Structures are given as structure tokens and as C-alpha cells.
Structure 1
Amino acid sequence: MTSAPASAVRALLGAGRLTHVPGVWDPASARLAVQAGHQAVLLSGAAVAATMLGRPDLGVAPATQIADRAATLGPALDGVPLLADADIGYEGPSSAVWTALAYQRAGIGALVLGDRQGAPTPGDRRGVAGAPLVEPRPAAERISALTGQAPDIAVIARTDAYPADGLAETVLRCRAYAAAGADAILPAGVDDPEHLGRLQAALPGVPLVLLRSESAGPARRWADEELAALGVRLVLHPLTAVLAAMRAASLAYHCIAETGDTDRVDRMPWAAFTALLPAEGAHPPAPMPVATVGPARSPGRPGPGGAHLPGPPDGPPRPQATGTGMPAGVERLDT
């Protein structure tokens, strides 16, 4: 049986309308998003890297820390599904499966699986956008492994091919990832109505997801109805709220340092803050952090700390190559 969080995400993808998904980073921000009426929220690698590690988004947030943070959000979400970044699934297909299983145990309903090749060159401030792409076939194999062995979590397959390689390569990869079983496709950087329309035509029935991140610079303004007509079902806003919170905190700190007058600081009233965070017993306690995950272990071998972690089940056969580096049945479109 599919988990409730995954079912909720898949229901949004199949609803025929657009849903905006904001980023959260802790239980308080998650509670604010739910109170604002959002139907899904996102835990991004950038938010975890910044708020847990004090680092920029250079692929430094491991799956275990994202899963651990996600596990604390459940009581605040009141059933609203959580999406989370998964980079490229952390190495090969078996590690991708373990990532998905850890996310599933943490209550995550969908993971966003990219096709960047690991972390960028140190010092490259473009973040993960400065890393090269995984070849299409191994990227599709990760998705196939996930959908075969971890079906209780939805998969949003992201490709970053468009900015450097154009629409043809983007369509090729999107078709491969959809054929491998992805629930939805996120073509990062595609912001042109004609190109979105061609992607929709190349992926009949496949929901599209758009990313609206401040890290990518100004984005085209779309009407929700326009995007929905082009097959877009989710728009992710991973950084807007955390950047707004950092801006507000910076202003408060400067005001205190310069004047010592906290009355000039625009802030949430204390009563509203305490109401945001219910007393113990109002909600079930947050789950304990999930166990550390890593490459598959054979059944019977102890995991970290002595915990018994069975290895993942055998998955379906890998797609056969076609001579183009793609799974069988996926052909390059002449775009």
C-alpha cells in the first residue's frame, strides 16, 4: 500500500491544477506554512546546509541530515505532505534506494532527484549548478531503482540540462526519466512558453514541476492558469521564506546593535509565537532521528550503532541500452 504522504503528493500531481510549494526549514516555519494554507511544503538542501551546517549550497547536506531534519517536521505539518531534495541520490542506484527509504521513514512524501554529478568544484559559488551532469542512462537507472524498490515515495526527477545543452537534450532526458518511472519532471531553467509547450507535447500525461529559486535570478511572471494549461502542477519556492527570515533577523540584529531599542523591531507578538508552538502533549512527539544510511548491506549485518538494517530487496532488471545511452523505448526527439 502506498504511504499517505506519497499518496497526497501524487494527488496534487494528478489534480489538474497548480499548487505552490514553499520551502520550510524547521518545525516553526513548517507550522507557519500550514497556517497560511499551503497544501505541500519543501525541505531544500540549501536550507538544511544553511540552517544546520552554516554552509552554502555546495552539495554538503547529506541524506541523513535532511532525513533527520524532516523527521522533526511531522507534528507541525498536520498531514500536509513534505517534499525534500535528494541531489542525485548519493552515488549509484543502491545508494539512491537507501536515500529514498530513509526519506520515507522520516515521513517525506516525495523526493526531488537531480542529475548533477556530485558536488561542484570547491570555491564555485554557483553551488550545485557548477557541477557536471550525470549521463542520461545512469541517471535513469537511479530512478528505475527507486520506483522498483521504494514505491512508497513519489519521485520528482529534475534535469539541469537546459541552461547549457538546450531543449533537445532536456527533452531527451525528461522522456528517459519519465520512462524510468518518475511521477513528475522538473526541467530546471525552462522559462519559455514555447519550450514548455514542446516539453508538454513530448511528455503526454506527465506532470511538470517548475522551480522558482532566488539562486537562479529573476524569473518570468506567469499566471497560474497559464502554467496549469502547460501541464505544470507544482511550483517550488525553496528559498523565499528562509531569505525573508534572514533579512528580518539581520534588520533586528542591526537595530539592536545600533540603537538598543527593540521597540523599533517589527516582529511577531510573543502570544502569537507561543500559540504557534503548542505545549507538550498537544501533538505527538517528534520522531527520533532516522538511522544513518549508506550502501546496501546484506541481510543480518548490523547497521550503524548496532541497529539491524536489512539490505534493500532485489530490484527490477535495469533498462537495456539502445546504443544512444538511453533505456529501451526512449528515442531522441528532433527538436
Structure 2
Amino acid sequence: MRALLSESAIVAPGAYDAVSAKIIESLDFPAIYLTGYGASASKLGLPDYGFMTQTEMAAHVSGISKVVNIPLLADADTGYGSIVNIVRTVHEFEDAQASAIHIEDQENKRCGHMQGKQVIERQEFITKISAALKARRDPEFMIFARTDARSVKGLDEAMARGYESLKVGADGLFFDALESAEELERVAKEFTGTCLVANMVEFGRTPLLSVDELHRMGYSLIIYPVTGLFSATHAMTLALQHLKDAGENSSLLSQVTTFEQFAELMGLGDWKNLEAEYQKNKIKN
């Protein structure tokens, strides 16, 4: 991911499971964002409210990284505890083959676009980021400092946290839940030359700007955490409501992926070729 970001801005849609990750890769996006919001929903059936544990998320990252070949930015929430937990989190996500993570400064973990957030003190957050950076073993593994302070203490405090994160070596900054295009632009100007994350959440607190607009401002990594999740939820709800109401699914055929298309997405052809090759060898022997 570090090499990609040195070349151009990256658009990384959010994956919530292996199927959504494979769809993102099949559409030639350069990277995937593994959303904690989507992971909590798909793995646990629970809101993004601090339920997902470190080991559950690391296992989720590992499962997805095994079936795609593009960089994966993973949501590491608050780092899951104290300094020793932060160190373990970095190691677990490195081992799971994430290319990058972000660690945030929330105290009572919840989705950044929900109300009622609280953040830890600035120095405690910077200590966590410093510990994470020192813990990494792979120099190519990127660590982004994410602050939710805008909603709690104001934009000036959020930017102060950004500056101090850069001082200890953070690879990039993620200011979540900015509330206007003017705030997005102000952050981009203040941190010119820094790898900045823009978070485009449908129905969230941040206005939805285009990729071109964000790129012109100076954002390097533009994530869409729930576009796929919300789209899939809506499409499935409509299809199953029709099934319930009409008692048939034949009229849905033009609106769904075919059996063959899904098999191709899952790589069935590669597995069949492998099976056939071994069958040839078996016959020869």
C-alpha cells in the first residue's frame, strides 16, 4: 500500500466479508478497506459499538487476505486496550497480512458517525501511536493515526493530535466525522504533503464529495466503508420482500448474479483445473 500511495490517490471500498472483498478486487480497485462497522455486522450481527474483539478482527483480516491479492487497510479500533494490547494488535494484524491499520483515540468505542463519543487525553493517544509504530516488524506496514476529537473537543484539538501523531512517526492521518467541505479543505491545507484519509459514509456526518474533489484537496486514501454493505442490504431486502409477497423468484433473474458468474468470482475454474491436473497425474501413475 505504501508503494501505491506514493504514486497516486487510492480509492478503497469497504469489505465486510470475503465475498465483498473479492467483488472489490474483481472490479480492479487498487485496495480494500476492511470496515469494523461491517465486520461487526457480518460476523456478530451487532452494531459497531465495541463488541468486536482484537482476535476476532485479526482472524477476519486473515481470512480475507487469503483470498485477495490487493492491499488491505484494516480498522484496528482503539488498539483494543493498553500499551501491551497495542503492541499485540500490531503483531496480530501484521501476521494476518494486513497492509495497514488505523488506531483511534476513542474511549468508549463506537462508530465514528454515532453520537455520544468520548476520547482519551491527547498524550495517552500519542503514546499509543508511538507504541504501535515501535512495535511493527515490517517497515512497509503502515499505521494511520485516527482521531475522533472533532466531534468531542473541536477541530483545533483534532488537528493538534494530528500534528503530534506525525511527530512520533505516524504514516498518515485520519480525521473522522468532519462536518463540512470547509473542514475537509482546512485539514488538507494544514497537512499538505501528509497521507490523509477521507471517509465517505452514506448518511454520516461528513458531506459526500467526489473522488476528484477530495484528490484535488489533497486526500491520498479515500475509503467508502459501508457503500457495499448498505447496497447489499438494500438489494437483499428488496429481493426477499418480493419473494415473501409474490411467492416466486423467477422475475428476479435479471436482477441477480448468475450461478456461473458467482462461481467465476469464487475462482471455481482454478480449483477445477487444479483437480484435473492431479487427476492426470493419478492416471499416469
8 Å Cα contact 2:77/2:109 also seen in 1: no
8 Å Cα contact 1:59/1:128 also seen in 2: no
Residue number in structure 1 paired with 2:78: 88
More helix by share: 2
Residue number in structure 1 paired with 2:251: 264
The reply on whether 1:13 has 2:5 as its aligned counterpart is yes
For 1:181 and 1:129, locate their aligned partners in 2 and report how far apart those are by CA, in whole Å: 30
- How far off is 1:131 after superposition? 2.7
* Range moving further from structure 2, 199-208 or 96-105: 199-208
Structure 2 runs not aligned, ≥5 long: 273-285
Change (3 A) 1:74 1:223: closer
Look up the SS of the partner of 2:67 in the other structure.
Answer: helix
Q: Which amino acid aligns with 1:96?
A: I
Residue number in structure 2 paired with 1:213: 201
* Range moving further from structure 2, 164-173 or 32-41: 164-173
For 1:188 and 1:198, locate their aligned partners in 2 and report how far apart those are by CA, in whole Å: 14
The reply on whether 1:169 has 2:157 as its aligned counterpart is yes
Which digits, 9 at most, give the CA deviation of each residue in 1:77-131, with x for residues without a partner?
A: 12x01111111101122211111111111111111111100336xxxx9876523
The reply on whether 1:131 has 2:122 as its aligned counterpart is no
8 Å Cα contact 1:88/1:118 also seen in 2: no
Q: Which amino acid aligns with 2:77?
A: D
Matches within 5 A, 1:254-333: 254-265=241-252, 266-279=255-268, 282=271
The reply on whether 1:109 has 2:99 as its aligned counterpart is yes
Residue number in structure 2 paired with 1:118: 108
For 1:52 and 1:211, locate their aligned partners in 2 and report how far apart those are by CA, in whole Å: 22
The reply on whether 1:148 has 2:139 as its aligned counterpart is no
8 Å Cα contact 2:10/2:221 also seen in 1: yes
For 1:184 and 1:218, locate their aligned partners in 2 and report how far apart those are by CA, in whole Å: 19
Which digits, 9 at most, give the CA deviation of each residue in 1:298-317, with x for residues without a partner?
A: xxxxxxxxxxxxxxxxxxxx
Q: Which amino acid aligns with 2:153?
A: D
For 1:142 and 1:192, locate their aligned partners in 2 and report how far apart those are by CA, in whole Å: 28
* Range moving further from structure 2, 193-202 or 137-146: 193-202
Which digits, 9 at most, give the CA deviation of each residue in 1:258-311, with x for residues without a partner?
A: 11210122210111011111239649xxxxxxxxxxxxxxxxxxxxxxxxxxxx
For 2:193 and 2:58, locate their aligned partners in 1 and report how far apart those are by CA, in whole Å: 30
8 Å Cα contact 1:13/1:184 also seen in 2: no
Residue number in structure 2 paired with 1:245: 232
- How far off is 1:31 after superposition? 1.1
Q: TM-score, normalised by structure 2?
A: 0.86
Match of 1:56 among 22, 42, 47: 47
Look up the SS of the partner of 1:185 in the other structure.
Answer: strand
For 1:148 and 1:186, locate their aligned partners in 2 and report how far apart those are by CA, in whole Å: 19
Look up the SS of the partner of 1:87 in the other structure.
Answer: coil
For 2:134 and 2:114, locate their aligned partners in 1 and report how far apart those are by CA, in whole Å: 27
The reply on whether 1:97 has 2:87 as its aligned counterpart is yes
For 1:65 and 1:128, locate their aligned partners in 2 and report how far apart those are by CA, in whole Å: 22
8 Å Cα contact 1:175/1:202 also seen in 2: no
8 Å Cα contact 1:45/1:57 also seen in 2: yes
- How far off is 1:201 after superposition? 4.2
Structure 1 runs not aligned, ≥5 long: 1-8, 284-335
RMSD between aligned residues: 2.3
Change (3 A) 1:206 1:87: same
Residue number in structure 1 paired with 2:190: 202
Which digits, 9 at most, give the CA deviation of each residue in 1:218-237, with x for residues without a partner?
A: 6242451x422332101111
Look up the SS of the partner of 1:214 in the other structure.
Answer: coil
- How far off is 1:253 after superposition? 1.4
8 Å Cα contact 1:157/1:185 also seen in 2: yes
For 2:64 and 2:118, locate their aligned partners in 1 and report how far apart those are by CA, in whole Å: 32
Look up the SS of the partner of 1:216 in the other structure.
Answer: coil
Change (3 A) 1:221 1:128: closer
Taking only the aligned residue pairs, the percentage that are identical comes to 27
For 2:184 and 2:20, locate their aligned partners in 1 and report how far apart those are by CA, in whole Å: 32
Higher relative contact order (CA 8 A, sep 6+): 1
8 Å Cα contact 1:45/1:59 also seen in 2: no
Change (3 A) 1:28 1:262: same
Q: TM-score, normalised by structure 1?
A: 0.74
8 Å Cα contact 1:191/1:219 also seen in 2: yes
